[in-house]
Amino acid sequence: MMKLSLGPILWFWSKQTVFDFYGNAADWPVDTIYLGEAVCSRRRELKPDDWFSLARDLSACGKDVVLSTQTLIESEADLRRLRRICDQHEFMVEANDQSALQVAIRNEIPFVTGPSMNVYNVATLKVLAKQGLKGWNLPVELGRETLEQLIRGLNEEGLDLPAEVFGWGFLPLAWSSRCFTARHYNLPKDNCEFRCLQHPDGMEVRSRESQELFRLNGISTLSGSRYDLMREMPDMERMGVSTVRLSPEHQGMDDVVDRFDQVRRGEIPATDPLHLVEAPPCNGYWYGEPGMALVQS
Amino acid sequence: MELVCPAGSLPALKKAVDNGADAVYFGFRDSTNARQFAGLNFNDQRAAEGIEYAHRHGVRVFCAINTYPQPQGWQQWTAAVDRAAALGVDAIILADMGLLEYAANRHSDIPRHLSVQGSATSYEALQFYKDNFDIRRAVLPRVLSLDQVRGVAKHSPVELEVFAFGSLCIMAEGRCYLSSYLTDESPNSKGACSPAKAVRWEETADGALESRLNGVLIDRYSRGEAAGYPTLCKGRFEVEGDVYHAIEEPVSLNTLDLLPELKALGISAVKIEGRQRSPAYIADVARTWRQALDRVDCSSGFSVDPAWQSTLSGLSEGGLTTLGAYHRKWK
């Protein structure tokens, strides 16, 4: 049976909200939980020790815990935080940037690559496998055709590298040095007043024809539609996908996890629509179409 | 500091060489490079002519093979590396780890430069590429402030090249999927951002001009307002009731003012963006930057000639330039 994972929280939530979220997640039918701040260096509601203690608690509840690293590393302070995450041997690390690869390799920590690492071919996976790679996420812009060939190529090489697919949530599409939330409020990034806390699922960007395009989330830009590969779960299972990633949202996440769990167990048809939160669904990337497209199969 | 200029065509390459480039970079006529435009780039014969011309004038030539091959295209990309090697280029600019390893194994004598598409923003990341693929040089993404560039340069195990002038990409390059989200092509996959095939211009009944990308309204210009190419991150969108350039204004990067500092940091080369630009544009930009670099190299102190700035502003998007992320307040 395929595994389900909870990706790192991409939004900025208060410390209490984060603790409450994971307190609930401990009882959800997810196998793997990614913990840590993957987006913005200014988001420090939880200190490294808070994350480590959460990791131990969730691990004690039977979850596989992976520590996620920041996606855009810019400063020496960013590197210090990265080294702190890689200066332990209890948990695997999700490398979201090449700096993390380097530090994890140097410290001989097992690692997986996150969806922002450019893994587009088998040769790249072979390079990383020699260095301690234990699994990998398909970059969000790649679809089933490429994934199928990657898995086949890995099998031909005799490499056991489990593949994870971002299966539900707003897609992380870009990272900038500029903070778009601060920009919206005409605040400098260095004095942003932590306005992201007011937007627990980002700020909608619409075209002037009211089409939902993107969600601004600090320095990152996410998709305006919600990626939803629930119907594609049986297809993924046939292809040999190991894990389906669900990206945390602050409301209704327990329902999302339940539905994906029921689908992977074959208890409900994968075609049942999921009506949860207000955002149009999309699945285009999976089918080699523009990411925002919704392909009716 | 070396002046590295874009060559989208043989005439552009010659203009760059004639006007003071120390090196030029080009790509093949397909999606193996990050500037895939109809009618641009080089087949093998034109590349050979260009390399001969450049070498005869003492100018080095780099070949950009800086997109990310998927399994179905792997042979096309490795063949591009082999072609570049056979042509006798002075360096290959690569981003993909698999391809970097291929080039390091097959053509170890040809220097490898890490493309900006390789997303290396720290000296730890640079060390990764150095340890694994023995890269000689890396191009830094346009997201770092000058202070951050200083931090990277201080510990960098390789030569550094930074962007000096041209289109301003404000996302960490190599990790931006906005274009493939709206269209089916991205810089990583197809070497295209906001591809021309998806662009539509429409005039409305009231005389406004609308630019669309795959049907999505990117911008609407009132009659007489200057209109720009609908690069999706430079459109005007609505956020919580405000319509504005929510991501970035259409401006160009211009770091002329920073040249003495970049030199003091030990930066090896400054890069001009714009393989999609005309030969005349390349000539003007190369000439201006040559003069500036020559002045920075002489000991009598550097000051920016107002004529340079006016030339460069005239060649910029919307006539506007910015220091971009190099200037911390921009962020």
Sorted by where each starts, the structural domains of chain A and their CATH numbers stand as 3-172+225-278 (3.20.20.220)
Using 50 as the pLDDT threshold, list the residues of chain B that sit under it. Answer: none
pTM value is 0.96
**Are residues A165 and A243 in contact, defined by beta-carbon separation less than 8 angstroms?**
yes
Residue A132, SS3? coil
What is the separation of C-alpha A112 from the centre of its chain, rounded to a whole number of angstroms? 12
Which A residues, 8 through 67, put their C-beta within 8 Å of a C-beta on chain B? none
Q: pLDDT 10s digit of each residue in chain A, 297 long?
A: 999 999 999 999 999 999 999 999 999 999 999 999 999 999 999 999 999 999 999 999 999 999 999 999 999 999 999 999 999 999 999 999 999 999 999 999 999 999 999 999 999 999 999 999 999 999 999 999 999 999 999 999 999 999 999 999 999 999 998 999 999 999 999 999 999 999 999 999 999 999 999 999 999 999 999 999 999 999 999 999 999 999 999 999 999 999 999 999 988 877 766 656 688 999 999 999 999 999 987
In sequence order, the β-bridge partners of residue A163 are: A136
CA-to-CA distance for B33 and B91, rounded, in angstroms? 14
What residues of B are in contact with residue A180 (Cβ under 8 Å)? 246-247
- Closest-CA distance, B170 to chain A, in angstroms, reads 6
Residue B126: the pLDDT is 98
CB-CB under 8 Å, B216 with A99 = no
B residues 92-131 lying closer than 8 A (beta carbon) to A: 95-99, 101-102, 118-122, 124-125, 127-129, 131
* B157 in reach of chain A (CB within 8 A): no
How close B72 comes to chain A (CA, Å)?
Answer: 7
Test B331 with A190 for CB contact under 8 angstroms: yes
Straight-line distance from the first to the last Cα atom of chain B, in angstroms, rounded to the nearest whole number:
27
ipTM above 0.90, yes or no: yes
- Domains in chain B with CATH codes: 2-168+251-326 (3.20.20.70), 175-245 (no CATH)
Q: Does B181 touch chain A (CB under 8 A)?
A: yes
| CA-based nearest distance A206→chain B, Å | 5
**In terms of Cα–Cα distance, which of A10, A12, A59 is closest to A33?**
A59
Q: How much is the pLDDT for A277?
A: 63
**Which residue among B148, B216, B217 sits closest to A74, beta carbon to beta carbon?**
B148
- A39, A69, A93, A99: best to mutate for the B interface, most B CBs within 10 A: A99
- Cα within 13 Å of Cα(B130), Cβ side: 17
Contact A118 B188 (CB under 8 A): yes
Cβ atoms within 10 A of the Cβ of A5, count?
24
C-alpha to C-alpha distance for B277 and B243, rounded to whole angstroms? 30
